Structure 1
Amino acid sequence: MARRSIRWLVPALLVVAWLAVGGGLGPFAGKLTEVSTNDQAAFLPQSAESTRVLEAQEEFRQGDTQPLIVVWTSGGGDVTPEQQAAATRALAALPGAPGVVGTPTPAFGSDDKRALRGVVQLSPDLSGGELGDALGQIGAKLPVDGMKTQLGGPAATRADLSDAFAGIDGVLLGVALITVLIILLAVYRSVLLPLIIITGAVFALGLACAVVYFLADRDIVRVDGQVQGILFILVIGAATDYALLLTARFREELAGGADRYRAGRIALRRSVEPIVASAATVALGLLALLLSNLTNNRALGPVGAIGIACAALSALTFLPAALVLLGRAALWPARPRPADAGAQGLWSRVGALVDRRPRLVWVASVLPLVALALLAPQLNARGVPLDETFVNDAPSVSAQAALSEHFPGGSGQPAVIVAPAERATAIVDKAEAVKGVSEATAVSAGGRPGDEPKVVDGRVLVEATLRDAPDSDAAQETVQRLRATLHDEDRVLVGGYSAQRFDTTETAEQDTLLIVPVVLAIILLILIVLLRSLAMPVLLVATVALNFLAVLGISTLVFPLLGFTGSDASVPLYGFVFLVALGVDYNIFLMSRVREETARHGAREGVLRGLVTTGGVITSAGVVLAATFAALVVIPLAFLVQIAFIVAVGVLLDTLVVRSLLVPALVRDLGGRAWWPSRLGHDHPKPAPEPSPAHHR
C-alpha cells in the first residue's frame, strides 16, 4: 500500500511544482518587453567600420539624441514664403515639447520648390509608447496651411518598430495557442489531452521567459522584438512536438493493455532519448549563432536554447506526470485503439508503396527537390528596402518616400565621416567629389550650416548627403566609393545608415559561411551518438540540407508574388538553423523508432514499422510547428513574415515528403547498409509476435 502511494506521489509533486512555476513565472511572458530593445543600432556588427563611426558619434554626443525629420509637401503648387515662415515658426515653438532636445533647425525648401524639411532632435530615453505619444504631440504642433505634414527619420522608424511589436506578448501568443489548440482537438478528438499539452507548453514558456528576463535584466543576454517573437513560437511549437511524441507512446501502451503507471513509465523511457537528442540538436544549433558577429544573431542563440531546454523539461516531467494521474481519462471521449486497428489507413498504404517500389519513391522525391534547390542561389538576400521593411504602410516609410521625391535620396540619413580636424576642409571637398554624393558638410556645435565644426579629440564629423535613397544598392555603392577615396587619409572612417546596411549584409554573409558547417557538424555528431551509425546520420543530414535549399528555391519564386523584392541578409541563416535543426528533429523521431524496430525485426521490417507507427504523430507535429511559425505573420515586419514562410513551408515539406517518403525509401533501398558500420541491419532479428506492417497504422 505504501509503495503504491509513493509511486503516485512523484507525479503529483511534479504537477504541483509545475503549477507553481506557471502561477509564479507565467507573468514574465508579458514582462519580457520591459527588458527588450528595438534600437537597431545595438544590433550592428561589432567590428564593422560603421559601428566604430557610431561610437565616435556618441563621443560627439550625437548618440544622445534621435533625429526626427519633418517634411511638408504642397498639394501641387510651389511652396510660398508664408508657408516656409509658418513651418519655421512651428519648429521654433517646439522646445519644451515632450522629448524635444535643443533647438530644431529652420525649415528649408527643396530644389523643386514643392517641399520643406526640418530636423528635430529627441531624447534617446523615449521609446515604445512614450515615443509614439511624443510624436503625436509634436505632429499636432506642425501643420501648415495647404501642406501635408509627415514625420520620418530614425525616431519615426523606431516608433513604427515599437508599434509593430506592440502587444506581441498578447496577440502573437494568443494566435499561436489558439492555432495549436484547434489542431490538437482535430488530431486527438479529445477534450482534456489538448488542454494538458497546451498547459505544459505555456508552463515551459513562462519558465523560459523568466530565465531570459533575469539574464536580460543583468545585460547577460540581449532581447529585441524579433528574438522575443521567435522565442514564443519556438517554445510553443517545440513543447507541443515533444508532447505529441510522448503522448503517442503513452496511448500506444494503454492500447496494449498496460495500466496508466506502466504506460507512463514505458512512454517516458522510450521517448526520453529522441526528445533529448532532438532538443540538443536544436539548442546546440541555435548556440552556434554565438559565433556570429551580429549582435541580434548572438542574442537569439542563448535565448532560443533556453526556450528549447524549458520545452523539453516540461514535456519530460509535467506531461508524463499529468498523463499518469489522469490515465485513460486524459483521452476522453476518444479511446486508445490497438496498434492493428485501421489496417487500411493512410500510413499503411504509404508503407506498402515504399516497400514495393523504394527506388522509384526516393527518385521521384529527390528530383523535384533538386530542381527547386537549383533556384536557391537566385534568392536576393542583400537586404530589404525601407518601403518593404513593414508589411503595412508605416508613417516613417511614407515620410522617407516624400523626402526622396523632393530632396536628395539620402536626406535625413546621410553618410557620416569621422575625420581629423586639421583635414576637415579637404575631407569635405574629397567627399563632395565622389560620385553619388550630393553635398558634404562638417557638423557644427549648434547644428547650423556655416558655423565652426565641432572638434572632439582632434576629430570632426562630416555628413555627406547621398543622391540615392539610403536603403538602395546605389547608396551602398556610393559608401564603398567614399571609403575607397577617403581611406587614403589617416584616421578616416565612413559610417551612417547606408554603411550600416552594407556592413550588416557583408557580415551576415560571412556568418553564414562560418555557422552553416558548424551546425551541420553538431547535428552529425548528435545523430552518430543517437543512431550508433555513420551512414545513416550522413544520409539524414543530406536530406534535410536538400530540403532547406529547396525551400529557398520556393522562396525565390514566391517572395516577389508577396511583394518582396529582397530579403534580409540574415534570413537564409535563420532559415537554415531552424529548418535543418527542426528537420532533423522529425528524422530523429522516425529513425529512433526505426532503430528500435530494426533491432527486433530486421532492416526491412524495421523501417516499415517505424514509418507506419510514427507517421501520424510526426505529421501532426509538423503541422503544429508549421502553424505556430506561421503565427509570426501577425507581426507586420518583412523579416518575420519571410522567416515564417520559410520555416512553415520547410517543415511541411520535410514531414510530408522528406521524412514520409524520401528517407524511408532510401533506407528501404539500402537495407542493412544504411546502418554501417553497425551490424544492426544485418543481425538476425529476434522473433516477435507482432503482426506485419500492413497491420499497423
Structure 2
Amino acid sequence: MNRMSEGEGWPEMGAEQETRHRKGRFVPWTLLAMWVVVLALAFPFAGKLGGAEQNRAVDYLPSSADSTQVAKIQEALPGGEATDLVVVYHRDGGLTDADRSTAQTQIDEVAAAHKLTAVPEPVPSEDGETLMYPVSTTEPGQDDELRNALVEDVRASVEGGDGLSADVGGPGGLQADMSEVFASLDGPLLYTTVAVVAVLLILIYRSPVLWLVPLFTAGAANFLAMAVTYGLHEWFGLTVTGQSSGVLSILVFGAGTDYALLIVSRYREELRRIERPYDAMVAALRGCGPAVLASSGTVAAGLLCLLAADLNSSRGMGPQGTVGVLSALVAMMTLLPALLVLLGRRVFWPLVPAFGSEVRQRRSVFAAMGSSAGRRPLTVLATGAVLLGALALGTLNLTGSLKQEDNFTDRPESIAAGETLAGAFPERGAQPIEVVVPAARADRALAKVRGTQGVAAAEPGRTADGWSEITVFAEAPPESAGEIATIEALREELDGGYVGGPSAQQIDLQDTNSRDRWVVVPLVLVSVLLILIGLLRSLVAPLILVGAVVAVWAAALGIGGLVFEPVFGFAGTDPGLPLLTFVFLVALGVDYGIFLMHRMREESLSGLEPAPAALKALSSTGAVIASAGLVLAATFSVLTNMPLVMLVEMGFVIAVGVLLDTFLVRTYLVTSASVALGRKVWWPGPLSKAPAAAPAAEREPVGVA
C-alpha cells in the first residue's frame, strides 16, 4: 500500500517539476522582452525631462504667495515678457575716458544687434568707479532658451580688460546663470552617480561581471522614471525642478542598488541550497520580497506626504521621488531576477556558490559588534543616545536662510555684477522691490509706498488690466534685515496690493517652508509607522525604528551646522533643508531597520529567543546593510560636488545621516534595544507572548530532477 502510494505520487511530482522547469525557461525571457518594450516606449519621453524643468525662484513658490501674484500680474502687463539686464563697468581708482568710450561703444553694439525697449542711458556712481547701463528687450519673449541665448550674446559683446571689469547681471542675467547651472547638472550628476555605484559594486561583489547586472537594471529603472515623470508633468502639470530631477537619479540608483544587494545576497544563499537558478530565485524573492516591498513602501509613502506641502518644488518632488522608488522596485523585482536567472551561477564568478556547499563560517565584524551590544545593552543605548543628542546640538549653529547670491558655490557673472552695484550705490538697494496695486488706487498707493519707513525711492511703472506697477528701492541692502522689515511694512500698508521681487520671494520661500514642516513631518511619521506596524505586527519595534531615524536626522543636521559655515564657508542654510532631509532620512533610514527587524522576526518565528534572534539577524544582514548604506551614502554624496549650495547641503546631511544610521543606530542601538526589551519588542503581537517554538530543522539542499 505504501509502495502503491509512492508510485501514485511520482507522476504528480514529475508534473510539478516539469511545470517549474518550463517556467524557469520562459518566465525570465518573457520579463526581459517586456522590459525591452517598456524602454522602447519610454525612449521618446525620457530625454525631454530636462526641458520641462522650472528653476526660477517664483516657480518654487505656491500660487497664493504675494511674490507669485506679482510675477503673474507683471507678465500680463505691457512689456511683461521683457528680459531686464544690467551691464556694469568698474575700475578700482576710477573709470578713464577710454573706459567710458569702450563702454558706450559696446552698448551701442548691443542696441544695434537687438530690439531694446529704450536706449540705454549710463548711470555713474558718485565715486566715479562704476558705470551702469540698464538694458531691456522683449525680443526673446517668454522663451527661456531664447532669453538665455540673448544674455550670452550680450555678454559676448561686453568685454573688459586691463583692470576694467564688465559684467552682465540683473534679473535676466541671474536667471540665465541659474539655468546654466541646472543644465550642467544632468550629465555630470548622472555619470558621477553611475561611476560611484559601479566602483562600490565591484568592491562588494569582487566579480568582473556581477556588478554590471544591478547597475544595468538601475539604469533601466532611471530611464523609466524619467519618462513617467515627464508624462506627469505634461498631463497633470507636475512641477519639475533641477533639484528634483537631480535627486530622482540619485534616488533610483541608491535605493535600487540597495534592493539589488538584498536580493542578490538572498539569491546567493538559496543557490547553495537549491539546484536550479529559477527555483533559487523564487525562494529568494519569497524570503526577502516582503522586506523589499515594505522598504519601498515606506519611502514612497514618506515622499507622497510632500503632496501636502504648499511649496511647489517640495510638492512636485513627492510624486517624482515616488516614481523613482517604484521604478527601482519594479526593475529590481523583475528585470534583475530575470537577468540573474538567465546568466546562471556563472555570473558570480570567481566566487560561484556551488549547490550543496556550505558558507565558510567565520566570526564577522558585525557578529562581534552585536555581541558587544548584547552584553551591555543599556550602556550602549545610553552612550548612543548621548552621542546623538550632543551632535544634534550643532543645529543651534545653523545660520539664517541663504540669500539668492549665496546659493552658488562659484560666483557667476550676475552675482559679481550685483555685488559691484551694491558697493557703488550704497544709498539704495541694488535690486528693486516690485509692487502691484489696483490701478484705481495707484496714486494713493504710490504716496503710501514713498512714505513707508525704509523706502529710498519709488517710481510708477506700467498699468494694464486693472493693475499698476510700482518699482521700489529700499535703503537697506538686498535681503538684509532692514530690507525685510521694509517689505513687511509695505505688505501691511498696502490693502489689496502685492509685494514681490527677488527679496520678497526669499521671504515667501522661508515662510512656506516653515508652514510645510508643521504639516508634512507628522504625516511622514504616521504613514511610516503604519507601514511598519503592518509589517512587524508590533507597536514597540516600529516606535524604536522611527525614533532612531528621527534622532539620526537631528544629529546629521547638527553635524551640518558644525561644518557648513566654519568648514565649507556657506553663508546660510537653504530654507527647505530641514524638511527635505527629514523626509529622505526617515523614509530611507527605516529601510535598514526593516531589513534588520524583518530578519529578526524570521529568526524569532523559527524558535530563537529575542536576544539570540537579534544577534543572528545582525550577523546575517550586517554586511548587506553596511553595503547598502555605503552605496546610498555615496550616491547622495555626489550632490556635494554640485555648484549649488542647496544641493551640497542636502547631499551632505543625507549622506552623513545614512552612515550614522547604518553603522551606529542599526548595528548598536536597535540591536541593544531589542536585546534589552526581549519579547516586549514585539508587543502586542503574538511573538511578545507565545513561548518559543521548536527550532526549525536545518535546511538541506534541494535537488531538482
TM-score by length of 2: 0.91
Conserved? CA contact 2:77–2:465, under 8 Å:
no
> For 2:407 and 2:180, how far apart are their aligned partners in 1?
13
Equivalence map 1:133-212=2 (5 Å): 133-143=149-159, 147-212=164-229
Which residue in 2 is equivalent to 1:451? none
Structure 2: distance between partners of 1:38 and 1:624: 29
Give the deviation of 1:621 after TM superposition: 0.4
Letter in 2 for 1:118: Y
Contact 2:81 2:142 (C-alpha < 8 Å) held by counterparts: no
Structure 2 SS opposite 1:192? coil
Q: Distance in 2 between matches of 1:178 and 1:458?
A: 56
| Pairing 1:117–2:117 present | no
Deviation of the 1:346 alpha carbon: 0.5
**Contact 2:94/2:127 (<8 A) preserved:** no
How far did residue 83 of structure 1 move?
5.4
Q: Which of 441, 462, 482 is equivalent to 2:459?
A: 441
CA distance in 1, matches of 2:373, 2:459: 71
- Give, in whole Å, the separation in 1 of the partners of 2:650 and 2:148: 27
Q: Which residue of 1 aligns with 2:349?
A: 332
| Conserved 8 A contact 1:50-1:494 | yes
Amino acid at match of 1:402: T
For residues 561-598 of structure 1, give each alpha carbon's deviation from its aligned partner in whole angstroms, at most 9, with x where no partner exists. Answer: 10112111101111001001000011011111111111
- Aligned equivalents of 1:114, 1:473: Cα separation in 2: 28
1:413 aligns with 2:408: no
Alignment counterpart, residue 237 of structure 1, candidates 236, 254, 260 = 254
Structure 2 alignment gaps of length 5 or more: 1-17, 699-705
Give 2:419's aligned residue.
401
Residue in structure 2 matching 1:363, options 368, 375, 382 = 382
Q: 1 CA distance for matches of 2:260 and 2:625? A: 11
- Which sits farther off after the overlay, 457-466 or 199-208? 457-466
Aligned residue number for residue 38 of structure 1? 55
Alignment CA distance shift 1:419-1:26 (3 Å):
closer
Tell me whether 577-586 or 494-503 shows the greater mean CA deviation. 494-503
Structure 2 residue 66 is the aligned partner of structure 1 residue 49: yes
Alignment partners' CA distance in 1, 2:440 and 2:611: 80
Q: Secondary structure at the match of 1:218?
A: helix
Opposite residue 392 of structure 2, the aligned amino acid is A
Q: Which amino acid aligns with 1:372?
A: L
SS in 2 for 1:184: helix
- Cα distance change of structure 1 residues 129 and 49 upon mapping to structure 2, 3 Å threshold: closer
Which of 599, 603, 608 is matched with 1:593 structurally? 599
1:256 aligns with 2:261: no
How do 1:249-328 and structure 2 match up within 5 A?
249-328=266-345
Residue by residue over 1:603-630, the C-alpha shift from the partner in whole angstroms, topping out at 9 and shown as x without a partner, is 1221111111000001100100111111
Rate the CA distance shift 1:262–1:602 in 2: closer, same or farther, 3 A: farther
In structure 2, give the amino acid aligned to 1:344. Answer: R
Alpha-carbon distance in 2 for matches of 1:661, 1:396: 50
- 1:630–1:648 CA contact under 8 A, matched in 2: yes
Residue by residue, what CA displacement relative to the aligned partner does 1:44-94 show, whole Å, maximum 9, x if unpaired?
Answer: 2221122222222123235312311111113312565x8557645643553
**Aligned in 2, Cα 1:590/1:576: closer, same or farther, shift over 3 Å?**
same
Matching residue within 547, 559, 565 for 2:564: 559
Match of 1:456 in 2: 464
SS in 1 for 2:463: coil
In terms of mean alpha carbon deviation, does 623-632 or 30-39 score higher? Answer: 30-39
Equivalent position to 1:534, from 534, 539, 551: 539
Give unpaired runs (5+ residues) of structure 1: 444-453, 692-697
CA distance in 1, matches of 2:143, 2:632: 33
- Report the Cα distance in structure 2 between the residues aligned to 1:3 and 1:683, rounded to whole angstroms: 37
Structure 1 residue corresponding to 2:244, chosen from 227, 235, 258: 227
Aligned mates of 2:298, 2:602 — CA distance in 1:
20
Distance 2:576 2:584 in 1: 12
**Deviation per CA, 1:148-171, whole angstroms, max 9, x where unpaired?**
211111211122122212343321
Q: CA deviation at 1:395?
A: 1.1
Mapped contact 1:94–1:138 kept (Cα < 8 A):
yes
- Tell me how far 1:411 sits from its aligned partner: 4.7
Q: Partner of 1:333: helix, strand, or coil?
A: coil
- Aligned-pair distance for 1:689? 5.8
Distance 2:488 2:28 in 1: 63
Deviation at 1:540, TM superposition (A): 0.9
CA contact (8 A) 1:255 1:336 kept: yes
1:385 deviates by 2.2
Amino acid at match of 1:511: D
* Segment drifting more, 552-561 vs 632-641: 632-641
> In the TM superposition, what is the alpha-carbon distance from 1:343 to its structure 2 partner?
2.1
Aligned counterparts of 1:152 and 1:586: Cα–Cα separation in 2 = 47
Match of 1:499 in 2: 504
CA deviations 1:89-138 (Å, max 9, x no partner) are 6435534635x542243121123332121222244557666544432321
Partner of 2:14: none
Query: Does structure 2 retain, via aligned residues, the 8 Å contact 1:603–1:681?
Result: no
Q: Is the 8 A contact 2:397 2:562 kept in 1?
A: no
| Contact in 2 for aligned 1:389/1:637 (Cα 8 Å) | yes
Q: Which amino acid aligns with 2:157?
A: K
The one-character-per-residue Cα deviations of 1:183-228 (angstroms, maximum 9, x if unpaired) are 1111111122210000110110111111112222335312121111
- What code does the residue aligned with 2:519 have? L
- Bigger shift: 458-467 or 141-150? 141-150
TM-score (norm 1): 0.92
- The aligned residue for residue 686 of structure 2 is 679
Q: How far 1:255 sits from its partner (Å)?
A: 2.8
SS in 1 for 2:470: strand
Partner letter of residue 586 of structure 2? V
Alignment length, in residue pairs? 675
Is the contact between residue 583 and residue 654 of structure 1 (CA under 8 Å) also seen in structure 2?
yes
Task: Kindly indicate whether residue 637 of structure 2 is the aligned counterpart of residue 630 of structure 1.
Answer: yes
Indicate conservation of the 8 Å contact 2:107/2:120, yes or no.
Answer: yes
The 1-side partners of 2:401 and 2:412 are apart by: 18
Change (3 A) 1:421 1:83: farther
- Partner letter of residue 344 of structure 2? G
What amino acid maps onto 1:25 in structure 2?
A
Q: Report if aligned partners of 2:374, 2:671 keep a CA contact under 8 Å in 1.
A: no
Match of residue 651 from structure 2: 644
In structure 2, give the amino acid aligned to 1:135. Answer: V
- In 2, the alpha carbon distance for the partners of 1:459 and 1:24 equals 47
Q: Quote the offset at 1:275 in angstroms.
A: 1.2
Q: Is the 8 A contact 1:74 1:148 kept in 2?
A: yes
> Kindly, what percent of the aligned residue pairs are identical?
38
1:420 Cα deviation from its structure 2 partner: 4.1
For residue 677 of structure 1, give the secondary structure of its aligned residue in structure 2: coil
Hey, what does 1:573 align to over in structure 2?
A: 579
Change (3 A) 1:318 1:161: same
Q: Secondary structure at the match of 1:618?
A: helix
Residue 434 of structure 2 aligns with an amino acid whose one-letter code is: V
Give me the whole-angstrom Cα distance separating, in 2, the residues matched to 1:657 and 1:690. 33
In structure 2, what is the Cα distance between the partners aligned to 1:291 and 1:409? 43
